[in-house]
Structure 1
Amino acid sequence: MSSLDRLAVAPAPGATGAEHRPRRYGEDRLHLLVRDPRCVFVTWEISPALAALASERAREERAPIRYQIRVERIEGKEAATKARASAAGEPVAGEAVATVDLPNALGDDGWYVDLPTSGGNVRAVLGVALPSGFHTLLFSRWAAVPPEGPSLEEGRLDANVSAAETAPISNPDRSGYLSILLHAHLPFIRHPEYEDSLEERWLDEALIESYLPLLRMLEGRAERRAPGRITISLSPTLLAMLEDPLLRRRFAKRLEQLTTLADRDVARYRGDSRFGPLAEHYAERFRAARVQYEERYRRDVAAAFREVEASGVARLITCGATHGFLPLMDLREPSWRAQLGAAVREFERQIGHRPEGMWLPECGYAPGVEAVLAELGVRYFAVDSHAIEHARPRPGAGTYAPLHVGAGVFAIGRDAESSRQVWSSTEGYPGDPDYREYYRDQGFDLPLEEVREFLPSGGTRTHLGLKYHRITDRRFPHREPYDPETALERVRAHAAHFVRGREEQARGAARGIGQAAFMLAPYDAELFGHWWYEGPEWLDLVLDGIGASDVLDATDPLDAIRRLPRVHAGSPHLSSWGEGGYCAVWLDPVNDWIYKPLLRAAETMRVLAKEGDRGEPARARALKQAGRELLLAQASDWAFIMKTGTLVPYARRRTEEHLDRFERLATALRGGTIDEAEVAGMEERYGLFPDLDPGLFA
């Protein structure tokens, strides 16, 4: 993906209100969010009282009122200490590094400001410029700005105190440990008001094409006691949908419909040597999925994941409760604790134990997150490559060694080589001409009257999962028929190529750093089967290849960490695995309007959580539901969808609806006017996370 052009100083289009309902609260607030090493976003609101005070000052000096935003910086080794002192109420001033005149401070509420240099800690100060000087009205919290490159100071590999925690359970003489980490996540979508929702089908597609095939593959490995282990991150929203009775019933019906459609295709293509065998392939596959889901799992997919973990072929971890993007939560620890703490609690409820690791949503890391993870007993978290490579001090081993960030918590960085061979649009395996073409589907290819009954309510054309063509040649629209046997030959070749590449990589890295190399290969779970139909078979063969290797072990991150005699210690920086490597995907003119109400809601929830339920059952329910609505509004999926331009009205509507519900509940909690029937209705619609503790928000 290409990097976005950094925005120049300009008012944020998201503040115009053209595409969303602007929210004004009549309160004084100022927030600074870091977009990337050279750009910050400042959002604010000035109350009528403060605006009147500023106007009075200007009148006293007989000068026109001129609002300004100044960005101040503190840097050096004491920057973090000064930022903490400022948060505690001590006066701390920094050097002004950017100044912006605001032509309409009372109308606009968001500006991007370019920074002259990267690094350090910055804050925004909003005030009025008068002949007597600059008069401060509001200031934001300090925020850490990431550096643009590696540190000049190189760190060294030190003894790993975690290495002696347990006896080795895999070969300690390998040149490398490969940890394949699949992230399974979908936003919480449940629409009882519709008979068949287009958005609910995201879960159906992921189950049919990714989760059930991956489980079948892992169960097969467990049966034949094949070596190797992968790690799977199950998001709490995904787990909540997997246990929802309504969604279970609807998925069972969906499987029945697809079996019917596949049987019709068998009849349609009988005698057709190109498509007939493939139609039978799909019919058999859907029947097998029905047996797997209905008879073997009794519709309990979470239990199936528990079983594969118990068999030893997979380790399960989790991510943020609703996949909230942590770097843009200005309240920081309380918001992080709510997202991560609710996730740990939900994972423990559904899986039966606390997670050892955490997939930070979007691999979004901000300095300080590790302290919250340590509180929760989480031992490691995944970040993108540059979070490790640009850490302070610079880790000489790069991503080939875990980074100890304190309190027994490790940051593990994505291995760029492993990722490129799967993700790259030019070098990646999924683009092979013999693999199945995702975008040719019977939902679009057949006449509408033949598929209408299988489409969502309203007859919107969409993917149905029956795809009869291979990629062929991306340069041209023509597609040849898909042949699963030919594709399987390419899977074998690609799996062998991947294993050889990792062996060579591990040997070279091990020679360079003087110990076995750690390599993290993280992928979206939905890549395997959904986007890349042959993906589960490829993964199975990769694990077989590594199992036969005398160079590599395929194991989970914590197992690998315990086997490495030395690790680096240091501090990573703000980062993500999104386009550009920072926050630009989730903080852009098309979605930045969400942050003022989200940040206000987080602060409101903190106050309400500190007040507690006062022993009142109705208040306890309302408080818990307010927490749910805030978490759901924070989901990174909505900002991502707005940025990518897919189903934007749905993403915008979900954000607005959760904010509206939260604000109604907050008003009722503050005023003692709780409507229990209204709360019950909200619980019926969005009652996920039954064990949610509102105290996490305090």
Structure 2
Amino acid sequence: MNKNIAFIIKANQDFVRHTESDVKKNKPILNSFFESISNVYLPLLDMLDNFEKEGLFVKVGLVLPPVLCSLLSDDAIQTLYSLWLDERNEVGKNELSRNSSDSVLVKTIESQIERNIYLKKLFEETYKKDLIKAFADNAKKGYIELLGTCGTDIFFPHYTDMKEIISAQVESGLHSYRQIFGFIPEGFWLPDFGYTPGAEKLIKAYGYSYTIVDARSLLLAQKMPSKGIFYPVRTENSLALFANDPDCYDDLFDEENGFVNAPAYRNEKRDIGFELELDALQPLMDKNTARFATGFKYWNKDFSKDGSEGYYSQDDAFAQAEKDAASFVEKRVQLLTKASEAAGDSDFINLVCTFNSDDLKGWNESYKWLEFVLRKVMQSDLSLVFCKNLLEKQYELEKIAPYFSAGNGTGYGENLLSNRNSWMMRYVRKACERIVDLSDRFPNDTGLKTRLLNLGAKELMLAQSLNLAKMIENEDYADYAITRFKDSIEAFTIVFDSLGSNTVSTEWLTTIEMKDSFFPWMNYRIFSKKK
């Protein structure tokens, strides 16, 4: 019996305004985005290239949200990222002078500077600034399976009674993938595993073959699958379902026992960006800019010496990453071995491990840990697979009715509708009602009205993003998230009022179109009621 394991990385990114007037204001958010490029996307591509050079064939699933693809393809963003690396190294040079008497710190600083130089070389010379093409090339080679998803990260259970809204999100994501990659993926990624009964009909209607759900969605179903989470099942309309590994996140990121707490790893909470005078952080930060991380972090997580950290050692951290990778793989080997013994005459058993780019970005050694994991899986009796390759018997799979579930909170997404962020819902749902009405009232309009309606559709999709609610709940750039949400709702309201009064400021319309320059193909009619 084959024991299979699939790895899927969900990239996570909302649209960030980056016109000349917005760059300075949004610098902390852009910094976070660029860290995702440096800590996740470029290392992943580099790792796959190295595996190819070694003749090792690995398989990794990847979810690239349409908004992220739009940002990565933007010339202005590409220029800003290169400049950002240069500005970080300017700070690094200042740090070399400031710490010249400490040989250990000098080595750490030099290592970070060299890393930034290498990343810039990868970005500009190896991948010609076109990371989307690099990912597409790896998909053609068979190293990556690209999964589709919604236009923005909408939480399906919040819109159970609004089928047109969910349908529009699925359709916009599908259209994006067709525009960007030239094909329709087989797998669909449910944002934050937010499943609500009936979603399977909309997903399957757009040609997807399978999706991933939280393990609780299967285990709490009225009829629990006979093979639990270790074998795909299907819904009534034969959309295949895979369950995520429920222990994966805790094994890595649990606050007490997760791998990331190992003393050897870099302390991500200690960064000179929050400790030095702003004058010492130029040109990366301006005096009137909110502080953010610079990447120059000198301490590990070893608090055994009088409660203070020790110096960070990359060699020690990578050794720890290899050790933790071995533990991670061994646990999955044991789990799948026990599952195979209980599965009877099953042709295979399977486990799906999913990772969020935001979590990986915040763990400096994550890219090295993932490389070790893939190597150790290939050395074990497990097989690396894509989920799409396990669907030969899709229409013979066991049928179930999945339960409501989510990958947030305690499994029900309650943190997306808390006392901190619940105020957002009344605005976004009212806008949802209005866009459906507008798309039916103006089915064949052209010119200025079409531009207005398309802008309104885009602004609504931005406001629907669950990431804004999470940022507010977690107090992670909450002020930015609140402003971003209000800007989108205000823009949508202006669109609605302008269509009602039959007047519009073309200057305002052009300005907002330039600021929110994603999805140039947008057609507001995707929100119309399906006949």
Range of TM-score over shorter length: over 0.9
Give the Cα–Cα distance (whole angstroms) in 2 for the partners of residues 475 and 672 of structure 1. Answer: 70
User: Which amino acid letter does the alignment assign opposite residue 183 of structure 1?
Assistant: K
Matched, 1:518 2:350: yes
Q: CA distance change for structure 1 residues 352 and 224 in 2, over 3 Å: closer, same or farther?
A: farther
Q: How does 1:284-299 map to 2 (within 5 A)?
A: 284-299=114-129
Residue of structure 2 aligned with 1:501, choices 326, 331, 341: 331
User: Which amino acid letter does the alignment assign opposite residue 194 of structure 1?
Assistant: D
Q: CA distance change for structure 1 residues 499 and 399 in 2, over 3 Å: closer, same or farther?
A: same
- Residue 5 (structure 2) aligns with: 178
Residue of structure 2 aligned with 1:546, choices 374, 377, 393: 377
Contact 1:613–1:619 (Cα < 8 Å) also in 2: no
Question: CA-to-partner distance for each residue in 1:123-166, whole Å, 9 max, x for gaps?
Answer: xxxxxxxxxxxxxxxxxxxxxxxxxxxxxxxxxxxxxxxxxxxx
Question: CA-to-partner distance for each residue in 1:405-427, whole Å, 9 max, x for gaps?
Answer: 13331222111233332232223
SS of equivalent to 1:427: coil
Normalized against structure 1, the TM-score is what? 0.72
Question: CA-to-partner distance for each residue in 1:615-654, whole Å, 9 max, x for gaps?
Answer: 4222221111110011011111121122222332222222
Q: How does 1:281-360 map to 2 (within 5 A)?
A: 281-360=111-190
Question: CA-to-partner distance for each residue in 1:182-219, whole Å, 9 max, x for gaps?
Answer: 11011111142234322222211111222111221122
Q: CA distance change for structure 1 residues 270 and 567 in 2, over 3 Å: closer, same or farther?
A: farther
Q: CA distance change for structure 1 residues 646 and 489 in 2, over 3 Å: closer, same or farther?
A: closer
Normalized against structure 2, the TM-score is what? 0.93
Identity of aligned residues (%): 22
- Residue 141 (structure 1) aligns with: none
User: Which amino acid letter does the alignment assign opposite residue 527 of structure 1?
Assistant: D
Give the Cα–Cα distance (whole angstroms) in 2 for the partners of residues 264 and 484 of structure 1. Answer: 21
- Residue 190 (structure 1) aligns with: 17
Matched, 1:258 2:258: no
Q: CA distance change for structure 1 residues 364 and 475 in 2, over 3 Å: closer, same or farther?
A: farther
Structure 1 residue runs of 5 or longer lacking an equivalent are: 1-172
Give the Cα–Cα distance (whole angstroms) in 2 for the partners of residues 284 and 384 of structure 1. Answer: 40
Q: CA distance change for structure 1 residues 597 and 564 in 2, over 3 Å: closer, same or farther?
A: closer
Give the Cα–Cα distance (whole angstroms) in 1 for the partners of residues 481 and 326 of structure 2. Answer: 41
RMSD (CA atoms):
2.1
Q: CA distance change for structure 1 residues 222 and 654 in 2, over 3 Å: closer, same or farther?
A: same
- The structure with the largest helix share of the pair is 2
User: How far is the alpha carbon of 1:400 from its aligned partner?
Assistant: 0.9
Contact 1:228–1:553 (Cα < 8 Å) also in 2: no
Question: CA-to-partner distance for each residue in 1:489-535, whole Å, 9 max, x for gaps?
Answer: 1122112222222111111001112222211111112333x211111
Q: CA distance change for structure 1 residues 433 and 618 in 2, over 3 Å: closer, same or farther?
A: same
Give the Cα–Cα distance (whole angstroms) in 1 for the partners of residues 232 and 109 of structure 2. Answer: 47
Indicate the structure (1 or 2) with the bigger Cα radius of gyration.
Answer: 1
Question: CA-to-partner distance for each residue in 1:41-86, whole Å, 9 max, x for gaps?
Answer: xxxxxxxxxxxxxxxxxxxxxxxxxxxxxxxxxxxxxxxxxxxxxx
Contact 1:316–1:355 (Cα < 8 Å) also in 2: yes
User: Which amino acid letter does the alignment assign opposite residue 187 of structure 1?
Assistant: D
User: Which amino acid letter does the alignment assign opposite residue 533 of structure 1?
Assistant: N
SS of equivalent to 1:398: coil
Give the Cα–Cα distance (whole angstroms) in 2 for the partners of residues 417 and 512 of structure 1. Answer: 19
Structure 2 residue runs of 5 or longer lacking an equivalent are: none
- The structure with the largest strand share of the pair is 1
Contact 1:330–1:599 (Cα < 8 Å) also in 2: no
- Residue 266 (structure 2) aligns with: 436
SS of equivalent to 2:247: helix
Q: CA distance change for structure 1 residues 250 and 234 in 2, over 3 Å: closer, same or farther?
A: same
What is the aligned length? 523
Contact 1:345–1:692 (Cα < 8 Å) also in 2: no
User: Which amino acid letter does the alignment assign opposite residue 188 of structure 1?
Assistant: F
User: Which gives a bigger RCO, structure 1 or 2 (Cα 8 Å, sep 6+)?
Assistant: 2
- Residue 424 (structure 2) aligns with: 594
Give the Cα–Cα distance (whole angstroms) in 2 for the partners of residues 476 and 672 of structure 1. Answer: 70
User: Which amino acid letter does the alignment assign opposite residue 496 of structure 1?
Assistant: A
Give the Cα–Cα distance (whole angstroms) in 2 for the partners of residues 342 and 434 of structure 1. Answer: 44
SS of equivalent to 2:188: strand
Contact 2:91–2:283 (Cα < 8 Å) also in 1: no
Give the Cα–Cα distance (whole angstroms) in 2 for the partners of residues 620 and 183 of structure 1. Answer: 33
Question: CA-to-partner distance for each residue in 1:558-606, whole Å, 9 max, x for gaps?
Answer: 1134489973311112211111211311111221122222111111111
